[in-house]
Amino acid sequence: MSQPNIWNRINNRETIDDLPKIYKFMKRTCLNWNDCLHLAREKFDKYFANKVIEFFNIIQNFIEYLGQGFIK
C-alpha cells in the first residue's frame, strides 16, 4: 500500500484494515544504534530463529515416532 493511497483513503474516511499493523510499526522507532540492533534481533527471532527451532522439534518428534514403529 503506497503512502499517497493511504492518505487518500484516510481523507475519504475509508476503513484501513492494516492500520493497527502500521501503528505498531511506526511506534517502534529506533532512537540510536542499540535500539536498531535490539529491534532487528527481535524481528530475526520472530520471523526466522523461532520458526527454525519449531521445525527441528517437529522433525525430531517425527523421527522418534518412526523409530517407535520400527522397534516393535
The full length of the chain comes to 72
Give the pLDDT band of residue 28 (cuts 50, 70, 90): confident
Domain holding 67, by residue range, is: 31-72
Asked if 26 and 39 sit in the same domain, the reply is no
pTM given for the model: 0.45
Are 39 and 30 spatial neighbours (Cβ–Cβ below 8 Å)? yes
The distance of Cα 49 from the centroid of its chain, to the nearest Å, equals 11
Element of type H or E holding 23: helix 19-27
For residues 48 and 68, membership in a common domain is answered with yes
Is residue 70 scored above 70 in pLDDT? no
**Residue 9 sits in the same domain as residue 35:** no
Q: What stretches of the chain adopt beta strand conformation (E)?
A: none
Structural domain count of the chain: 2
The answer to which of 22-26, 36-40, 46-50 has the lowest mean pLDDT is 22-26
